[in-house]
Amino acid sequence: MRHDGAGAAKAGEQADRVDRSALDSNPPQARVRLPDGQVLLAAVRERRQEADTSWWHLLSITLIVRYESVQGRLTAEPGPVSFWAPAAGGVVMPIEGENCSGVPTHRNSAALRRAARARATGERRR
């Protein structure tokens, strides 16, 4: 399942260029806390900082998905399901030793301007 806008920077964002082939075959992992309290391992596919400066991660987990063979036979197979989750609030938790430096990272230009102003005026981050 592909989330709308996955892998592409929207207007007003800056994207880091990375080699996606290595990331697609062996993406870094993070823990994600679901609304019911379960904690699962998820592949980190993308990071995005929004205009309000919040960070979000595009994650994928493997669930059972409906698969239709060439012959038209339906089966249940493991397959990736992607979703966005907030970095704040203990939802997405890094795993020690996982290297996320190659994950595509997008920062909204308004968030970049805010950060530059804060550095220039010596403001502390909330």
Residues (pLDDT < 50) of the chain are 1-23
6 three-class SS: coil
* Domain-located, residue 68: yes
Give the count of domains, the chain: 1
Euclidean distance between CA atoms 114 and 122, whole angstroms: 12
* Cβ contact 100:47 at 8 Å: yes
Q: What pLDDT sits at residue 24?
A: 60
Amino acid code (one letter) for 62: T
> Would 44 be classed as within a structural domain?
yes
- Domain contains 4: no
pLDDT tens-digit profile of 43-61? 999 999 999 999 999 999 9
DSSP state of 103: S
pLDDT at residue 112, as a whole number:
84
Q: Give residue 119's pLDDT.
A: 86
Please report whether residue 5 resides in a domain.
no
Q: pTM of the predicted model, to two decimals? A: 0.69
**Structural domain harbouring 43:** 13-121
